[in-house]
């Protein structure tokens, strides 16, 4: 069983940056790929970005490309989401999740393990 703990959320101004962290433990992490999702009030949880533990390959939601970067530190079992040029519409709870490797990255039903989420608020 994989446990995930996010951190790094907070309040930032329009155009600012934040880096979220997701510390993973348990299970054989190389068998998983990691994803970041977000959920704004009244909206469905949506995919943001994904990275594979095995080779670091990444996949992004179109609106995240160029502003967000997902990375991993295998020595620390930690995945990061660097968010730049933040906008008020990026305000949401951000979740880290794990799915079996080689399953579809943007399908939230493929993810078996979820963190508790971290709030990101972008003020205008």
What tokens does 93 get? 């709870």
pLDDT score, position 63: 87
Q: Tell me: the pLDDT tens digits for 37-91?
A: 999 999 999 999 999 988 899 999 998 999 999 999 999 999 999 999 999 999 9
Question: Is residue 72 a contact partner of residue 56, using CB atoms and an 8 Å limit?
Answer: yes
Query: Which of 79, 86, 72, 76 shows the shortest CA–CA distance to 18?
Result: 86
pLDDT score, position 41: 93
Residue 31 has what DSSP assignment? G
Dist. CA 64–CA 84, nearest whole Å? 10
pLDDT score, position 49: 97
Q: Tell me: the pLDDT tens digits for 93-108?
A: 999 999 998 888 899 9
Q: Tell me: the pLDDT tens digits for 63-77?
A: 899 999 999 999 999
Helices (H), the chain: none
pLDDT score, position 27: 79
Average pLDDT value for the chain:
95
């Amino acid at each position: 069983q994989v446990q995930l703990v996010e951190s790094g959320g907070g309040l930032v101004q329009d155009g600012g940056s934040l880096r979220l962290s997701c510390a993973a433990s348990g299970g054989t992490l190389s068998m998983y790929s990691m994803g970041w999702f977000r959920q704004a009030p009244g909206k469905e949880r949506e995919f943001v970005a994904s990275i594979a533990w095995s080779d670091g390959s990444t996949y992004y939601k179109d609106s995240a490309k160029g502003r967000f970067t997902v990375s991993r530190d295998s020595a620390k079992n930690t995945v990061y989401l660097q968010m730049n040029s933040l906008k008020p519409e990026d305000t949401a709870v951000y979740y880290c999740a794990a799915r079996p490797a080689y399953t579809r990255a943007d399908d939230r039903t493929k993810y078996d393990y979820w963190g508790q989420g971290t709030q990101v608020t972008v003020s205008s």
